[in-house]
Chain A
Amino acid sequence: MKCKRCTTSEGCLVSRNETFCGECFSRFVLLKFRKQMMMDEYCQQVFKVLYADKHRTAVEADEQNKRSVVLVPLSLGSSSLAMLDLLNQTLSEQRAAHNRTGFQVKVVLCGFSADMDELKRLAESLQTERLAMNSDCIKLYLLDLDRSFSTCEIHKLLLANDNHGSRKIATRENATLSSILDQFSRRSSRDDMLWFARQHLIKKFASQHQVKVIMWGHSVTRLADEVMSLVIKGRGAQIAATLDSTGMDVEYGALFKNLYPLRDVLLSEIDAYCSLSKLQRYIYNYSLQGSLFIKSQDEAAQANRAVPMAKNMTINELTRQYFDAVEKDYSNVISTIVRTASKLDYPISNGTEVIYCSICNNRVYVDPSKWLKSITVNNCHPPASDEDMSMLQMWESSSKGKETLARNQARSNIWSTAAEAPLCYGCVVTLNETKDRELNWPSREHDVSQVLAEFTLTDEE
């Protein structure tokens, strides 16, 4: 079957009921990317090659081109890799047309210490093989997640026994991110916390490096997962802030914008783009789906792919699995979710004071303790019979009883002196899952540039 766009080449894949040849498909993805990239005046000023005009002189325009720095958080999954490739193409086109570029790219690659060698190898080969032409304006940084929190202050966050209120105390314990995440027994909570830590480091990096735009590689599929997962985790209030591409990120000093240039592209389309652009060899910890190709490239691999047990899956994985299942019968469900979510506004806050969560840094609109208190009763039906009283005595004299009473006493002693640590509803629920309802978590204020220094791959400054 011929490609529906150019009508000359043979079609190799079908997407949105349309047959594409490789070239037209890559162009289709590039145009979707460009449309989002140039969505408003601010982004146009960042990405366009500026010349002298009535607002600026030639020197100023040149300076502004150099100061237009965008940040690409790279995970070496298909989406972020495809986005970096598309940005690289844009830079090359600008260079060919204007003999200069309109913006600079900083790429941050986050990983655990154990993965660092492999990430470094992949990043180096990506740089020499794919990004060499624009090496003067694309800089790669490696960020070791384990080391990144080693220099910062750690707080112990405590949740009241009845979930009503939280406090923080300073602790001298040293922590790596791996040890912080080990405090969670559920995979889903661990993944959430890892995402918060990673997101915090990236945004902190952006605010310390005069970045104008953070370009997240999220596909529409990933955004739909994210929206559904936020709703399921009780974080519905955060949807508007998460998807906000129009305003500046006020939680990090209103210095940069968050942009999702691939928000019109499905994950399967991004995977197909990666295959067509031969980016597979740089992908880490992810396997590309070839579902759009007419001659499916990895049918055997797809057939053999083990279906994980629902109990071992994270909330995001479960929602992704749900979309995969309903996509055939209700094809537009993914885009509907993202479209609906983009119509949401920031919730109205109960109080006048602006409060941020001590774990995820998101704004707290409704006091979760008050909300939980209004719907949950924590007092008991008093012991009445002699049997009840003897059981109560047995409990009080048991090691478990003594331990619980001592812990409650210790916590009430701390409560009066410890500083308040506001938490959002989602983090209260997550903290409730941990042993003894406490968590060692890094303080918000810390400098990431120290950790970066020795891992910068191409910093010629």
Chain B
Amino acid sequence: MYIPPSDPRRPAKVTAGQLCELCHARKALVKRPKNLQKVCKLCFFHVFETEIHNTIMENKLFQRGERVAVGASGGKDSTVLAYILKLLNERHDYGLEIVLLSIDEGIVGYRDDSLATVKRNQEQYGLPLKIVSYKDLYDWTMDEIVACAGMRNSCTYCGVFRRQALDRGAAMLDIHHVVTGHNADDMAETVLMNILRGDVARLEKSTAILTQSSGSPVKRSKPFKYAYQKEIVLYAHYKKLDYFSTECSYAPEAFRGTARELMKNLEAVRPSCIIDIIHSGEALRLRPRPKKRAPPPGSVEIRADGSASLFRNEGFVDGNRCERCGYLSSNRICKACMLLEGLEKNRARVQIADDTSTEGAARLTRTLEKLHF
């Protein structure tokens, strides 16, 4: 039977079943994955913003008069975070001074475009912006690193360097609190990854909303700990926020990719699984290790392979610093310095002047991958 198309000028009549389950007065547009509730746009804004506010208050994330740096990449999470922090700061009078802090990894064709978004956000929200680049800090761009060390390990280098760069950027601004846009999906993925990899050292802390080391002046917090990525995207979409939505052009970490795929399948079967995983993560606690009998003072342990440490390792000391750069490290030399040392060894001795061949290597690879005959 022929059904004539509906007239777009005359909106279809809303039935009682289509209404928001909270206000019953407007048409539902969003189905919340957290509790399967169908809500309208205004109720969605209300619950989303209030939940972030509740998370901030419940965990006492901020102090009045505090200066906080929002780790801004130009992506959906950090854009929504900057927007919502400014909004809540004004609405609830947190008394915060918010600054945008961006890291320029030096990935031509990706980061340059996303930084342009951050610069637009800076103007839109009227917030100061500080950009710290890998080139200035380490004398390497990610494009150069990939050209030297290959694409396979790109996330290892980038992750280690970014963590330090954020802290250094905050220190340059004399800010002691960095807020990042890690959402519930990221958090759940981390919990799964730590179990799959058997990373016992990180297992208990994988769901911590506020991380702070006694030796570091910079603390980090994640106000989006309980916010679903889907809801963040919807919020940005309905609020018409300006964000950059391209994935990093370098290869994602392969094992993390498998966990992400598993989570996607799980969400289809159990939409609440992300928050469920976080609930589980909060309950994970390690059994205390049986105490080893201490060796006599002054003794040197000879390992099975015949080696021995002359200076006995006293174990992890919170607040320990890297001998080379002075950054926080659990070892004598921090991971970033180790990676840089490896890179320097492989740096080409002779270079072509003003060589730009490494720029946009990732973009070039992606373009070549898409070519077909």
Contact = CB atoms under 8 A, between A and B. Distances in A.
A391 B283 contact: no
Contact of A377 (B47, B276, B277): B47
Interface residues of A, number: 71
B279 A318 contact: no
Interface string A198-241: 00000000000000000000000000000110111111110110
Nearest to B14: A391
Contacts of A346: 285
A285 interface: no
B280 A234 contact: yes
Interface string B107-150: 00000000000000000000000000000000000000000000
A231 B287 contact: no
Interface residues of B, number: 59
A429 B50 contact: no
Given A381-B23, A389-B25, A401-B16, A236 B281 contact: yes
B285 A163 contact: no
A311 B269 contact: yes
Nearest to A341: B195
B251 interface: no
B23 A426 contact: no
B265 to A, nearest CB: 4
Interface stretch (A9-17, A257-265, A330-338): A330-338
Nearest to A372: B35
B270 interface: yes
A254 interface: no
A380 B25 CA distance: 10
Interface string A378-410: 111111000011011011101111000000000
A374 B255 CA distance: 33
Interface stretch (A22-30, A319-327, A438-446): A319-327
A432 B284 contact: no
A344 B286 contact: yes
Nearest to A429: B272
Contacts of B15: 398
Residue of A234, A313, A337, A432 contacting most chain B CB atoms (<10 Å) = A234
A337 B197 CA distance: 7
Contacts of A382: 23
Contacts of A236: 277, 279-284
B216 interface: no
A339 interface: yes
B46 interface: yes
Contact of A380 (B23, B58, B283, B285): B23
A345 B203 CA distance: 12
B287 A383 contact: no
A230 B284 CA distance: 11
A376 to B, nearest CB: 6
B45 interface: yes
Interface in A362-377: 365-366, 368, 371-372, 374-377
17 contacts: A231-B191, A233-B273, A234-B276, A235-B280, A315-B270, A322-B261, A329-B254, A330-B255, A344-B285, A347-B284, A348-B285, A366-B283, A375-B55, A383-B26, A389-B25, A392-B23, A432-B36
Interface of A: 163, 186, 188, 227-228, 230-237, 239-240, 310-311, 313-315, 318-319, 321-322, 325-326, 329-330, 333, 336-337, 339-341, 343-348, 365-366, 368, 371-372, 374-383, 388-389, 391-392, 394-396, 398-401, 425-426, 429, 432-433
**A-B pairs, 10 with minimum CB distance:** A236-B280, A234-B276, A398-B16, A383-B25, A380-B22, A380-B23, A237-B283, A345-B287, A336-B198, A381-B46
